[in-house]
Amino acid sequence: MAICLELANGEYAGRSVRLEPGAACRVGSKFGIEFAVPDDPSLAPEHFVAVLSTKGVQAHSLGGHKLIRLRDWILAGESAFRITDSDAPLGSEPHTPIDQAGFVLQGLPGLYAMVDVIDDQEWKRRLESGKDPAQPLAEGFVQARRTGGEQWLIDVTGHNSLTGYIVRRSWGRGRAAFLQSKYSFGSLKEFCQKKLADSTARFHDPRWLRVAMRSLPANESADWLGPIQEILVESRLPRLMEHWKGTTLETIELSMKVPVMLPSSREIEARLDSSRPLPAELATWAPVQPDRAEQLIRGGVDLGLSNPGSLILYGLAQLAGAGEPLDKALLESTDRARFMDLFVIATNRRREGVRVPS
């Protein structure tokens, strides 16, 4: 099991860090900490710390900065972070750039991964166990020293769970590239070994590949690439994937689905007149539609709505025909702003397991 904290949005989406048991992972906008997100203007230099313990991942605000936890999501500033397990299979749909990279790669014919596990002993032990269809390219200590790593070639064709595992272990860290070839595993291995021995190519290194492919003359590509027809690799910004067909580049934007950040109940309650009770319709909403709050929160980005007010109005409008009391009260209310605030409070309380008073 390898628990990671993954950035799901923003310019640097697709980056992740592995959380080591008991070790503090500081997250913020300044360089030099464990997880830096310099493009988020709303993120403090050291915004929060994430710690992996026997009870799971704990997130603690640093300096009183705002932090919201929604199941396996942590929302801070304008950034959304997801807690993931690299050993777990990909879900039924992608929610982050790393998920989407796995979905793009799944099912591609003749797909191989060339990886470097020199800094990941857990992954190395898995490869050495023979669990996966893989063979080492840098064999022996001397060869590993010459190539500067421990490279392996893995046949991932038709192995979707293995593809997801490799993506989660490597994406955004410069440790793997995916190659498409019509040739056999043996032929591709021999070609890659020869390139490594000659120190003329580093097909496992996305950083090297991005430079090499851009400088490769089209009339030399067939000889230089040998049995490799296509290359898929993370871009400099891992929210993008580079797909090379010979010397032709296609850049793929990896989609992101992050939860909508509702205002906190405390913020809203602080500006409301506490002497005015919640409308009776609001109290009856939670038991009538127990799953609606979660649907609204998780469905916001799918609907292309980022404003919580628009999101809730849209969701309630879809139910208006059912004659729910809350729908009718909201859509006909003359004090819609206040009712919206109250609705968010009720939603937050229901999600936190707090009973909404009548």
Tokens 């390898």 — which residue?
A: 2
Choose the CATH number for 3-85 among 2.60.200.20, 3.30.70.141, 3.40.50.720, 2.40.50.140. 2.60.200.20
CB atoms near residue 349 (< 10 Å): 16
Higher pLDDT, 339 or 95: 95
Q: Using CB atoms within 10 A of its CB, is residue 314 exposed (0-12), middle (13-18) or buried (19+)?
A: middle
Report pLDDT digits (tens) over 243-296: 999 999 999 999 776 665 555 555 555 655 555 555 554 444 443 343 444 444
Report pLDDT digits (tens) over 86-119: 888 887 788 889 999 999 999 899 999 999 998 8
Whole-number Å distance between alpha carbons of 100 and 83: 16
Domains of the chain, by residue range, sit at 3-85, 97-253, 265-351
Whole-number Å distance between alpha carbons of 115 and 138: 11
Q: What is the DSSP string of 82-116?
A: EEEETTSPP-SS--SHHHHHHHHHTT-TTEEEEEE
319, pLDDT greater than 50: no
Which of 35-49, 133-147, 338-352 has maximum average pLDDT? 35-49
206, pLDDT greater than 90: yes
Higher pLDDT, 153 or 299: 153
**pLDDT value at residue 340:** 60
Per-residue confidence band for 336, with pLDDT thresholds at 50, 70 and 90: low
